[in-house]
Amino acid sequence: MYAIVDIAGKQFKVEKNKFIYAPLLQEEKDASVEFDNILLLDDGGKVQVGAPAVKGFKVTAKVLEHLKGDKVIVFKKKRRKGYKKKNGHRQEFTKLLIEDITDGTAKKSTTKESKSTTKKTTSKESAASKKTASTGKDDLTKIKGIGEVYQKELNKIGYTSYQQIASLSKSDMEKIADAVDGVTAETIESEEWVKQAKALDKK
């Protein structure tokens, strides 16, 4: 038996006891995950095609680890314009072990429990965000070029406020480039992190 499942907007062919590398999920390591957006199901030659999804079936998987892919260098240049821009990127993935493909209609209570757990996790996440706001850390994602991933990496190396970003020197930028994958000193200057942080710090 195998199924075609939609995970985070991408389609994967899954079979029991096999691994897949899905886009990064929020679940922690060793957590169990369920997917019910099954587009196609082959059960011993009996093929069911969803319209758009096959009802009643679900795929259960276990989160083994979160990892990053190989670094990809993106280099842009405009000749005779003096324009050069270099960026590095490592895509994040979640390694999943497919445990089973089951008929979800037999256990409606389990789906209700899973919904309640997702609600609990979202409430925990909102509480965590409130805690981070109360600690005095600035929201660095308001600076264009800094997303949630970069904010976490910057917080790890001690950059948590607009004032710190506003006072960056070239040596500081190089240290950040060495510590954070995908960030270079050139991108920090070209995207004007310092200028944006100064404006936000004034507000």
Residue 176 to residue 184: CA distance in whole angstroms: 8
Domains of the chain: 2-108 (no CATH), 137-202 (1.10.150.20)
Long-range CB pairs of 113-117, under 8 A, 24+ apart, other chains included: 114/34
Give the Cβ contact number of residue 190 at 10 Å.
15
Q: 9: helix, coil or strand?
A: coil
Residue 58, classified by CB atoms within 10 Å of its CB into exposed (0-12), middle (13-18) or buried (19+), is buried
Please report which confidence band the pLDDT of residue 132 belongs to, taking 50, 70 and 90 as the band edges: very low
pLDDT surpasses 80 at 123? no
Give the Cβ contact number of residue 132 at 10 Å.
13
Q: What does the pLDDT look like over 33-42, one tens digit per residue? A: 999 899 999 9
Overall pTM > 0.85:
no
Q: What does the pLDDT look like over 80-116, one tens digit per residue? A: 999 999 999 999 999 999 999 988 665 554 555 555 5
Residue 29 to residue 32: CA distance in whole angstroms: 9
CA-closest candidate to residue 173, choices 198, 200, 192: 192
